[in-house]
Chain A
Amino acid sequence: MHQGDITIDKISKIEGTAALKVTIEGRRVKDLKFIIQDYRRFYTEAVKGKPFIAAPSFLSRICGTCSVAHLFAALEAIEKSQGIENTEQTKVLRRLAYDALMIRDHALHLYFFVLPDLLGIDSILDISDDHNDPAHILLHDSFDIKRIGTDLSNEVIGAAIHAPYPTVGGFLKLPNQTNFTSLISRLEEIRPKVLRGINLFAEWDEVLVRNSDYLALRNDERFEFIEGEVVNSNGKRVPEEQFHDFLKSVVIPYSHAEGYVFSDTHEDYLVGSLARLNLNSDKLHPRTKGSMAGFIKIFPSNNIYHNNVAQAIEILHCVDEAIDIMQSIVIREEKPIRKPPQAGRGVGVIEAPRGILYHMAEIDGTGMITDYDVIVPTAQNQINIENDLKKFFNENLHKKQEDLKFEAEKIIRTYDPCMSCATNFLTIEWIEE
């Protein structure tokens, strides 16, 4: 019956439960299924017929951890559909808010989910109370890093989760610039802790190499998460408006989320921090480059474990950029840009913490949404994850089953598929024929 594209409702934020099923036959992987089990909420259907002004806040509920990414992608899509060009101040403040998101979100993944793998323990809850224990120090580093990310979000957009201030055409409330001084000081204070984290993840000697293609937003002026063109490893550039056509959705009948490959070659690809560093490391903040020159040379890399290093470096970049922005900006009172509703279509493509995020809005002349579409990063990475895991299993079948399970979980967590995909799983069904 249903062949090819089933492209409705790519709203899955995908944290939740995932499973892995592996079938071995003749000492080879016969079949491997990475199954995303989160139940869909069909928000892209629910938003139809609603006024566009209410949509971004509603759609930020797609995901709790990268709520700000969905909010900003929705705002961009709707603003483009309405022909709204934001002020420079709005653009800069959104970049600042995005720095806060990346600091908080990456730190959560690296320290709460990956650090236990690196330490060989189950959980941060197993870390010693000893203040001199390096693991204890790292855990408390993470609290300080996450806290400044949250506090910066609170100041600029009103909250780190489902932020209330950003709206179509600008901000409902602007930050109090007098609070920037203390935020700058705190960012300077956590910088050595961020550097310690980069060293830690860069020195982790785990390796899983497969030749993947990478996809990321690129801005020729700076390392950007919001504005730019999509580029791949071969340098091919795709305008945001054509991004959807660049991909082919693939029905994965056992998974609640569809996968994606390139529409021309049908090859899999990877999005996220590793892709961004592979394609854009030359654009990192100069201070970040100065501090991390040795580690930045790691990129481009095909080692999926370097996604962790890339995230750690992005935290530093965001710390440095946030300091720059707050030191230079002079916030002026301005109201959101508003125009009478017009019929139109807009696309917002931005870099969520886990990779490229696509929102498309179609709006009628009364300002009501007639169609909406979302493509999330983890859905794009799904096929790549499966192919990486197949390679891993085929090369390591001599190992004990328990070790293989643990290693497979580590690989999936390294992708940072989303909050609970990295943790709420992993039910591995082992089938040997």
Chain B
Amino acid sequence: MFESNKDSQDKKKKLVIGWFSFTCCEDSTILFTELLNDHYDEWTKVMEFRHIHALKTDNKLEDLDVAFIEGAVSSPTQEKEVIEIRQNSKYVVAIGSCACNGLPSASRNEFADEDLNEKIQWYFDNFDYSKKVRKLDDVIKVDDNVDGCPMNVDTFFSVVKKYLDLFEIT
């Protein structure tokens, strides 16, 4: 009934990207899906979405040109994951306020030290929460920031253009 795959694969070089989410409300991921309303046809011609859980199951974390990372880092498990992304990406862009500044996901840093009540403590005891929630560049090197809650769209467009130019992709 339907064609299941693109028949003609464009052989020219594309910007190989990954999109990742950690502790946040994923508003920038939602905004990204909104941007696809107007930019899907344009971006799929110049970008290969190699790793994007929001859109596909078959993801590969290897040889990314640019990794866009949304969210703060709130556990040792997440720390390992962002380090692995960094190791497999030429450039990393922090997306949204939680990745760039930690907040609002890092709100718990203000009370978790001395004001842990029994119920919150239960989560700390049963899962691998780190003591503090950290912004992305506290954990790995970040090359660019797209701040905002959700991300600033104009800044995002500028960053995308910057990397398309850098990799000489037209």
Contacts and interface: CB of A to CB of B under 8 A. Distances in A.
Given A42-B108, A161-B27, A420-B21, A7 B75 contact: no
B37 A419 contact: no
B107 A46 contact: yes
Given A64-B29, A130-B3, A253 B126 contact: yes
A409 interface: yes
Contacts, number: 160
A41 B108 contact: yes
Contacts of B21: 15-16, 420, 424
Interface residues of A, number: 58
Interface string B3-22: 11111100000000000010
Contacts of A186: none
Interface string A420-433: 10011010000000
B77 to A, nearest CB: 9
Contacts of B40: 139, 143
A119 interface: yes
Interface string B96-139: 00000000110110111000011110110011010001000000
Contact of B44 (A7, A108, A125): A125
B26 interface: yes
B34 A150 contact: yes
A6 B122 contact: yes
Assign chain B's interface to a size class: 35 or more
B26 A419 contact: yes
A122 interface: yes
A290 interface: no
Contact of A133 (B2, B38, B104): B2
Contact of A143 (B31, B37, B49, B149): B37
B145 interface: no
Overall SS of chain A's interface: loop
Nearest to B53: A424
A133 B108 contact: no
A8 B5 contact: no
A13 B38 contact: no
Contacts of A147: 34, 37-38
A45 B109 CA distance: 11
Nearest to B118: A2
Interface in B38-57: 38, 40, 44, 49, 53-57
Given A124-B55, A126-B5, A2 B122 contact: yes
A42 B134 CA distance: 15
Interface in A1-41: 2, 6-9, 13, 15-16, 38-41
A128 B3 contact: yes
A63 B108 CA distance: 17
Contact of A64 (B27, B37, B112): B27
Contacts of B8: 129
Given A13-B25, A16-B23, A129-B8, 17 more contacts: A16-B26, A41-B133, A43-B104, A43-B107, A45-B108, A45-B111, A46-B107, A46-B110, A61-B25, A122-B58, A128-B3, A143-B40, A161-B27, A162-B150, A253-B126, A419-B54, A424-B54
Interface of A: 2, 6-9, 13, 15-16, 38-43, 45-46, 58, 61-65, 67, 104, 108, 112, 119-130, 133-135, 139, 143-144, 146-147, 150, 160-162, 253, 256, 409, 419-420, 423-424, 426
22 contacts: A9-B119, A9-B120, A13-B26, A15-B21, A16-B21, A39-B127, A41-B107, A42-B111, A42-B120, A46-B111, A62-B25, A65-B26, A108-B33, A112-B54, A112-B55, A121-B5, A123-B56, A128-B3, A143-B37, A161-B30, A420-B29, A424-B53
